[in-house]
Amino acid sequence: MADAGSLPGLVVASHGRHCLVETADGKRQRCHARGKRNETVVGDRVTWRVSGDEGVVERVEERRNLFYRQDEIRTKSFAANLDQVLVLIAAEPEFSESQLARALIAAEAAGISPLIALNKSDLVEPFERAWQRLLPYHAMGYGVLPLSLRLSGEVDHDHLMTHLRGKTTLVLGPSGAGKSTLINLLVPEARALTGEISQALNSGKHTTTATTWYWVDEERSTALIDSPGFQEFGLQHIDRMQLAGLMPDLRKHADHCKFHNCTHLHEPGCGVLDAVRDEGPQAIQPNRYRIYQTLFEELSAPPRY
């Protein structure tokens, strides 16, 4: 139970031992963690109190979810309390299907709805090739959204907002996919806000290196969270035996396996392997199965010290 001096707040940026907390009336206060480590992430609801020129985070409220990646060395938390993750990729340069699959698996594991957006629909031939690669994901039930984000500001704002309105969305994607363009088109003051946040946290960080919360509307009902680009996306927090259940095209066949502890690699009577060999509309695509094999092997490897 919070005491009279405690205030509710929303973490909109975090760096080092400090975070920026937004109050109910929209003001922002630099806060520091009570202990030695700052445990807050963007999107956290917190209780804090004034302490001199700064604030002190007293408690992080229970999270609905947390989107993160983990390799053998460290865990990287992106944001908490999300409604969806928008995985933004581009027709050119060619996107990595392995990285896309990893992001989708992390979203599935966290219980967060993912949405795939393919940028650069104005590049006709590259876009068509990329769109064909995404057809299996559409068949799995994922939303797949075509986009043409240009620095000139040309974007189907209403169509895009249909998918974003009233939600808190983490924008995730590799460098060069158009994340910064998307943020700047929907939040024109984003560059100025980023500078203010960096100054407030004394971080010298910008959107390319720090996760940042932006309100899209004056009512503060629609939020975008800009995240750093990534080259690797570790899934060490995933149990290898749960992996198939986090891949929709494998999941629907895994229930047909003869053995309950099937790895879907070599066992007789495996529903997944049967679907890989199938040539019909319910078949598992060979490249998707290769991604599963690679990830299963990765998650089975002994830790390296």
Check whether 65 is labelled as a binding-site residue. no
Q: How is residue 242 annotated by DSSP?
A: G
Which residues are within 8 A (CB) of 214 and not within 5 positions of it... i.e. 6 or more apart? 183, 186, 187, 190, 193, 223, 224, 225, 226
Check whether 256 is labelled as a binding-site residue. no
- Are 118 and 145 within 8 A, CB to CB? yes
Q: How far apart are the C-alpha atoms of 107 and 102, rounded to whole Å?
A: 9
Q: Which tokens is 175 given?
A: 């460098």
Helix then strand then coil, in percent of the chain rounded to 5, is 30, 25, 45
Check whether 271 is labelled as a binding-site residue. no
Check whether 119 is labelled as a binding-site residue. yes
Kindly state the helix (H) or strand (E) to which residue 122 belongs, with its residue range.
none
Check whether 181 is labelled as a binding-site residue. yes
- Are 305 and 241 within 8 A, CB to CB? no
Check whether 179 is labelled as a binding-site residue. yes
Check whether 43 is labelled as a binding-site residue. no
C-alpha distance from residue 3 to each of 28, 48, 58 (Å): 21, 10, 11
Check whether 174 is labelled as a binding-site residue. yes
Q: Which tokens is 77 given?
A: 């938390």
Check whether 169 is labelled as a binding-site residue. no
Check whether 262 is labelled as a binding-site residue. yes
Check whether 96 is labelled as a binding-site residue. no
Q: How far apart are the C-alpha atoms of 246 and 81, rounded to whole Å?
A: 20
Check whether 300 is labelled as a binding-site residue. no
Check whether 121 is labelled as a binding-site residue. yes
- Are 179 and 173 within 8 A, CB to CB? yes
Q: How far apart are the C-alpha atoms of 83 and 241, rounded to whole Å?
A: 26
Check whether 120 is labelled as a binding-site residue. yes
Check whether 25 is labelled as a binding-site residue. no
Check whether 19 is labelled as a binding-site residue. no
Check whether 167 is labelled as a binding-site residue. no
**CB atoms inside a 10 Å sphere around CB 7:** 17
Binding site per annotation, positions = 119-122, 173-181, 257, 262, 264, 270
Known binding-site positions for Zn(2+): 257, 262, 264, 270
Annotated binding site for GTP: 119-122, 173-181
